[in-house]
Amino acid sequence: MHKKSGDHYDFLIAGAGFAGSLTALILQKSGFKVGLLEKGQHPRFTIGESSTPVADMILRELSSKYNLPWLYNFSRYGTWQQSHPEIVCGIKRGFSFFKHYPGEYFTTDGDHKNELLVAASSSDIESDTNWLRADFDAFLVSKVKESGIDYFDLTEIMTATRNGQWEL
């Protein structure tokens, strides 16, 4: 096993899902020295994700606040398709929850108290998106590498000790 020593980081992030990669990019834009570890290797299988109107707003906000202009395009189906048709995503029309009880058929009443419909835009261009996470997460990691953040895949933290600062 490869063992690494001597590198110092303000932040060392474990896990290069989209949360880890975006956090690494944001921290680097904020002036910190960042390292990102991933125990697996991209592209990797993973389940989910579909965006919501609020999640899309947050992507746009992160894009402008942390000077990540390319991120903006992933907040709508139309701009995603124009900018990165090679990264697979689908149009999302909304989603529903239905509260079920074990052993019972689903029933509802006039108030629909046990149902939730989250509607989405009917416009393809403005639409929320279903992400193929394998592609999207691999793309984010390419942005991590492009930005000069130290990236280590097939890497796991084996020990963590604190002597004034963390040693991992």
Q: Which residues bind ligand FAD (CB under 6 A)?
A: 14-20, 37-40, 46-50, 55, 156-157
Least distance (Å) between residue 35 CB and ligand FAD: 11
Least distance (Å) between residue 62 CB and ligand FAD: 14
* Closer residue to ligand FAD (CB): 51 or 109: 51
Tokens for 121, please give them.
């835009």
* Closer residue to ligand FAD (CB): 44 or 110: 44
* Closer residue to ligand FAD (CB): 14 or 114: 14
Least distance (Å) between residue 92 CB and ligand FAD: 8
Least distance (Å) between residue 16 CB and ligand FAD: 5
Residue nearest to ligand FAD (CB): 17
